[in-house]
Each structure stands twice: as C-alpha cells, then as structure tokens.
Structure 1
Amino acid sequence: MAPDPVPTPGPASAQLRQTRYFTWEEVAQRSGREKERWLVIDRKVYNISDFSRRHPGGSRVISHYAGQDATDPFVAFHINKGLVRKYMNSLLIGELAPEQPSFEPTKNGIFA
C-alpha cells in the first residue's frame, strides 16, 4: 500500500505564512494620533490599536510607545515574557524590513 500523499499547501496557507515587512516611517505614522497604533518589539511589528484599551498596565502606558520601538520597556515591565508573548501572537502584523536598522533612526543611533 502506497503512503498517503502529503497535501500541497494552497494559496491561502502560503498567504498566512508570508511575512509583511514595514519601515520605521510606516511604524511612526501609527503613533496613536489617529485610531491605528503600532509598536515594535524585537524587530516585530504589532498592531495594538484595539488591545491598548485592554492592556493590564493601562492604555496610557502602552499607547505612549505607539509608533516606536518598545523593546526596552517591554523587557523591563514584563516578568513572564513567555506568557505575554503567547498573547502577543494575535497582535503581530509583520516585521521591520531587513534593510531597516534595529534602532529608530530618530533616536540618533544611540543603540548602534
């Protein structure tokens, strides 16, 4: 008896795995002045627009970092990062484009 063939992924499953890339400029445009809010943690881009109202630390805390790299405050304020990252998966919308620096260009390269 021949083994069952391995299913070939269709266009929908390939689309789910495709990573979207963003620039710092695109992230900065979602700084909370409008309805949409994004932030970056470890080069991953998260849409916190709806979540900010449910953030356990308060919406003002997380919204303060909208449009910016929030890696340092994330590390400082979240003791159980594994637990928190589990909830962050639903907010993940992409990553910084490979050609983008790891630090925000407007921060004078202090992390370079």
Structure 2
Amino acid sequence: MMLRRSTIYLGTTMGLILIMVGLFLHASGQVRASGSLFARKIVLVKQLELTDLCLFTEASYTRHLSMTDLSTPFQDSPMALEHFPTGALVEPPPHLVRNHGSH
C-alpha cells in the first residue's frame, strides 16, 4: 500500500507537535520541581556575593560580559582578527551598543 505524500507530511507534523508538547510539559514539571533548589542557590549567591556567571574561559571580554568594552577584542590592533571562537558567539552587552547604533 502506497501512502500519499500529504499523509506522510501530516503524520510527521503531528508527531513532531506531540513531541514538542511533551517537551514543554516535561520542562514545566522540572521548573516546578526545582523551585526549592533555586531558592537555596539564590541565598548562596547572596551570601558569597557572587557576580556574573562565567560562560567562557578563553578571554577576559568573554569571561565577564558585563565588564567588557567595545575595544577589548581589538586590543592588539584595530584591524586584528578575533583570536577566540567565543567572540563570534557573544555580542557586547546592550548598554555598550545602545549609543553606538547609527551615526
């Protein structure tokens, strides 16, 4: 028996929608279950006076995103290429580029 392409398409689409709904339900359950863990971590962060989360370990301007400036990636030379791959993944903080949009 040969299935029509539209039947295959609709079946695949419905299957993917069901998977997506399942993922959303699972995520909301995990968020509710980990509420007390987050509350304890918030208290720990306040006690230790921790600041920013360190996402990358390569360069100072990707380690501490809120403490960088626009010229830090080009500290060797204004025409220098990016040394680290994470520089291509991370944008400067919004407060730095807000006033530099268009001139």
If the TM-score is normalised by the length of the shorter chain, which range does it land in?
under 0.3
The answer to which structure has the higher strand fraction is 1
The answer to which structure has the higher helix fraction is 2
Q: Which has the higher contact order (CA 8 A, sep 6+)?
A: 1
TM-score (norm 2): 0.27
TM-score (norm 1): 0.26
* Bigger radius of gyration among the two: 2
